[in-house]
Amino acid sequence: MPLILITNDDGITAGGIRELVSIARQYGEVIVVAPDGPQSAQGHAITIEQPIFVRKSTALGEDIEAYECSGTPVDCVKIAKSVLLKGRVPDLCLSGINHGSNAAINIIYSGTMSAAMEASLEGIPSIGFSFLNYRAEADFSVCRPYVEKLTQFVLDNGMEEGSLFNVNIPDLPANQIQGIRICRQAEARWVEEYQAGEDPRGRPYYWLTGKFVNEDEREDTDANALQNGYVSLVPSHHDLTNHSALKKLQLIESFLQPETAGDSSAPPTSGQQLEQF
């Protein structure tokens, strides 16, 4: 049977991971390694200044091999691979189901997606699932058919090494979701604001808030798909190279060399190349 690693960033008692475990058990052997409490917006953080504690957990049922971890979502994946699995390599990593969107720039901040990305770095096909509902009593069953379909697809067909799927599901009744759209990440961002206050001891504090701004009006984005009632699937990876800028900068590489550089073999940069850049 396939071995499926499950994690999240909302903690081992979250409703989303319970739904994910219920689904994954249909397809293979499941092991869960998840934070012992909420770890949202931890990004790709890892724990290096203190020990990590791991304990067996029955939060998901006595018949589920599950562990709660004191570290970040990425720590959970690392601990699973390096310690708990004892050399076994999962066939698939599923992360989530997250409370709230991880579309657009949210993938950078998300603990859910960073856990999936860590698995992909280790050569494990991975999918991060998010449901656009922040309520504690959210009904994750609407996500079920999409999680099932994508889990089966990846187990049957594999995934390009280093790749992962970022899947976001709109907060709509099941009969109003229009299907899945394969799309790109929207060029959108958060505009931060900080609410100032004072604690009981008179110390000033700042509480992060803000609003999500999407100025990308093209139709091929995850933000557009979600706005129109579709599940968005963005194939992602960890390569953050700006390939367009790379090609341009390579044209003027010689111009960027200081006079003290030892390698003078590069041809000189022309004025025309600089103008084109």
**C-alpha pair distances (Å), 11 with each of 75, 142, 184, 236:** 13, 20, 28, 24
CB proximity list for 43: less than 8 A, separation 6 or greater: 108, 109, 110, 111, 114
The binding site for a divalent metal cation comprises 9-10, 40, 98
Q: List, in order, residues 6 or more apart from 77 with CB less than 8 Å away.
A: 5, 7, 33, 93, 115, 118, 119, 122
CA of residue 5 relative to chain centroid, distance: 15
Q: Is 124 helix (H, G, I), strand (E, B) or coil?
A: coil
Catalogue the E-assigned strands of 109-149. Answer: 126-131
Q: Could you tell me the two tokens for 95?
A: 């992360």
- Both tokens of 267, joined, read 């041809």
Residues at the binding site are 9-10, 40, 98
